[in-house]
Amino acid sequence: MRAAPQCAEDPALASAMLVPIGAGTSISLTDTGRGPAVVLIHGWPVTAVHWRHVVPVLLRAGYRTVEVEARGLGDASSGRGDHAKATLAREVLAALDAIGVRRFAVVGHDVGATVALLMAADQPGRVAALAVEEEVSPGIEVESEEADSYPSWHLPLFTAPEGVAERLLAGRLDATVDAYLGGSAGPAGLDFDAHVAYMGAYATDARLAATLALYRSATDDATAVRRAVRRRLPMPGLAIAGRFGRGGQVAEALSHAVGRVHSVVVRDAGHYPAEESPDAVNGALIPFLRAA
């Protein structure tokens, strides 16, 4: 593994790298700034572009940002191997070790939030704060209803028996990703350029196996999460949700994992509050991190 990089204070001089994690695989990281570290892990089907409105604000507030693309997520990471979220969590922790990040806050979006939760459960002494954006982790049951506009059709499709989903989606993954992005963003919709970037990252048959593997691990993920939340974790939690996304479910789910939960439900956002309403997200995230 490579030595710890010299982090730049200027975002234009950010250190982007592939960090080996063993077995011939690696994780893509972008390491920027100085100060307390904030690790950012996005979900499916987006890339680190998701954090484009968050990172500059964190840097101005005096934080070091580490944008992570875990295996199977983003457009620069290897899709080989086990995609259980506990495995991805261990890999991200190993990558952080490799660049010299010992203690950090972690912000996770969608699937990336389950990875973040399992990181916090695996090594709670390293995690100062846990922020979850638009995720109800497998294994946690909630009573609140999600928004009617939030799509759930992708879950049975991606978890169909092996061979069935492949036949249904081969040559059609572009249309599937396009439909999910459009449906999950809510009325405001995603920025056009970001939507196009995400399509380019995911909407090819080369990404199909990794996409299906991320969702087919749901049973293992649920087992890992239930084990992780048997006792509430010691760090504070921030739940970030869109009114047209998971809504109140996010805070309810996070309350199963940590004892102290702060919550923001962004009025005009769908599944991507950090992109659709960045002022509201940054306005909640920065005070939360400072308090933690």
The half-sphere exposure of 109 on its side-chain side, counting CA atoms within 13 A, is 27
Distance spanning both ends of the chain, measured CA to CA: 31
The whole-model pTM stands at 0.93
Rounded distance between C-alpha atoms, residue 199 and residue 8, angstroms = 30
Mean pLDDT, the chain, whole residue set = 92
pLDDT at 4: 34
The 10s digit of each residue's pLDDT in 25-63 is 788 999 999 999 999 999 999 999 999 999 999 999 999
What are the structural domains of the chain?
A: 17-147+218-291 (3.40.50.1820)
Query: Looking at residues 126-153, what average pLDDT do you find?
Result: 91
- DSSP letters for 115-180: HHHHHHHHSGGGEEEEEEES---TT----SPPPTTS--THHHHHTSPTTHHHHHHTTTHHHHHHHH
pLDDT at 79: 61
Q: Is the pLDDT of residue 8 over 80?
A: no
Is residue 33 within 8 Å of residue 8, measured between CB atoms? yes
Query: Looking at residues 127-144, what average pLDDT do you find?
Result: 96
